[in-house]
Amino acid sequence: MSIKLKLATLAAIPLFVIALGGAINILRLQSQAAEMARIEHLTDLAGHVSALVHETQKERGRTAGFLGSGGMRFGPELTDQRKLTDQRVADFNAFLEGFDRSDVSPAFNDHLDAARSALADLKDHRARVSSQSIPAPKAIGYYTGMNASFLDAIAATVADCSDAEIVRQITAYAAFLKSKERAGIERAVLSNTFAADRFGPGMYRKFIALTTAQ
């Protein structure tokens, strides 16, 4: 080999390594950008979910008071709250129409499907509450089960993130929302208790369990 060819060969090796390293780095950055875009989308969804759950928590509390009083109290407040909940439901459904669920974890989709299935029964559930044909524990349990599925969906978003700091923040946010949910259940239990002027069947045990959990 001529000196010129030898020098060219020697120069080609580090250039190849540099080019390979650059290509790998570009792929890594592209992957990070795609993940950040996905997390941003999930964060937007979490905002809509938490806003909706906030209203269903309030509706649960007023439902409990309405049933506890035998329909004598909290009627107008419950009607007004249902309208606020409906607004959040509409916002959530509108956002979900443009949300791509194909690139998120199966656990997230399972929890979200369970929550939406419960949400589809909201109209029928309200009718039973209005006619007082449902016991308070079951009425409260409906909102509690639905909210749990929504909040579990938010917690499941950590499976779609590899950044440790973002995982920590999502976990903390989910824990905060679940603590707020426990406080909301306690409010519903006590609303029903004060309205009825007594603890209903199983309500005292539930209250103690909630206090302990918090």
Going residue by residue through the chain, which has 214 residues, state the pLDDT in tens, using 9 for 90 and above. 777 776 667 666 776 677 666 766 665 655 555 656 667 777 888 889 999 999 999 999 999 999 999 999 999 999 999 999 999 999 999 998 888 877 778 888 999 999 999 999 999 999 999 999 999 999 999 999 999 999 999 998 877 677 788 888 888 988 899 989 988 988 888 888 888 888 888 888 888 887 887 7
d(CA 105, CA 148): 18
- The Cβ of residue 177 has, within 10 Å, a number of other Cβ atoms equal to 19
| pTM over cut 0.85 | no
Tokens of 144: 């509690």
- The Cβ of residue 57 has, within 10 Å, a number of other Cβ atoms equal to 20
